[in-house]
């Protein structure tokens, strides 16, 4: 591990806005803020919003700045990435943003039922070959339903045509209430303060002429038998994913 990463990890341990609970620590210690994020972590009674796979934290920070009436938590397992957003929160003394370093597969262990109002999933890997790892798959929707209030909002912002179409079909198949649906966000006139935030990766894809897609829907309580998984064998695969991604560090 390079000296720069070691320095970032050491600095993050001093950041009050960061909680680090990888699987091993979660199993051995549990999580002290489960059910008490508002009272004990943010110390303010505000609705709670998560960004999953937050990367460098641009979206979490941007959302917090644009809406002081809610609290925002960015979740990612990559500590060296979270460092950038966390440092901004510390330096600018942003009181309604924090970061959780943890595996998203364990996300339901950090919140009690109904504790979270809204989710943002921003530019995740579309996982075209691995449905179970897709952050909008029925596997993950089932996890989210354990802590998202019934009717809570899930937002997907993506550059992937495949993930957009897969999620659109899933939403339609399950009869979820759709709040926003566009395959060209910036050409649709739908842009607002929350969707106008551009991440590092988003800027890269926009510079290559790719359009940004947005789906927002309400996730109901999980029905008996679970959510329905759509067919995907006829969804065209993204043909530009082979391009080298820029280094996010």
Catalytic residues: 125
Where do runs of H (alpha helix) occur along 192-235? Answer: 200-207
Q: Where are the beta strands (DSSP E) in 53-147?
A: 71-76, 97-101, 116-122
In the three-class reduction of DSSP (H, G, I as helix; E, B as strand; rest coil), residue 119 is classed as strand
Q: What is the CA radius of gyration of the chain?
A: 18
Quote the tokens at residue 68. Answer: 């002081």
Task: Output DSSP code: residue 40.
Answer: I
Q: How far apart are CA 234 and CA 151, in angstroms?
A: 30
The span from the CA of 168 to the CA of 98, in Å, is 30
* Residue 118: strand, helix, or coil: strand
Helix or strand run (H / E) with residue 163: helix 161-174
Evaluate whether 164 touches 238 at the Cβ level (below 8 Å): no
Q: How far apart are CA 65 and CA 96, in angstroms?
A: 8
Dist. CA 114–CA 48, nearest whole Å: 10
Cα(30)–Cα(216) distance, rounded to whole angstroms? 32
């Amino acid at each position: 591990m390079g000296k720069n990463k070691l320095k970032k990890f050491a600095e993050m341990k001093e950041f009050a806005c960061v909680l680090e609970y990888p699987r091993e620590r979660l199993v051995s210690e549990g999580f002290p803020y489960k059910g008490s994020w508002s009272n004990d972590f943010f110390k303010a009674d505000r609705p709670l919003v998560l960004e999953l796979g937050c990367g460098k934290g641009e979206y979490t920070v941007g959302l917090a700045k644009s809406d002081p009436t809610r609290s925002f938590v960015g979740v990612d397992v990559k500590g060296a990435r979270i460092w950038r957003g966390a440092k901004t929160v510390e330096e600018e003394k942003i009181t309604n943003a924090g970061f959780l370093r943890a595996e998203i597969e364990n996300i339901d262990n950090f919140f009690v039922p109904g504790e979270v109002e809204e989710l943002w999933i921003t530019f995740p890997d579309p996982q075209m070959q691995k449905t179970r790892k897709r952050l909008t798959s029925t596997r993950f929707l089932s996890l989210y339903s354990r802590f998202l209030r019934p009717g809570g909002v899930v937002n997907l912002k993506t550059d992937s045509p495949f993930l957009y179409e897969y999620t659109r079909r899933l939403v339609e198949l399950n009869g979820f209430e759709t709040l926003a649906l566009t395959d060209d966000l910036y050409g649709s006139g739908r842009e607002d303060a929350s969707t106008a935030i551009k991440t590092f990766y988003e800027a890269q894809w926009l510079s290559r002429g790719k359009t940004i897609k947005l789906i927002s829907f309400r996730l109901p309580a999980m029905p008996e038998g679970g959510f329905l998984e759509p067919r995907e064998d006829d969804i065209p695969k993204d043909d530009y994913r082979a391009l080298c991604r820029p280094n996010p560090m």
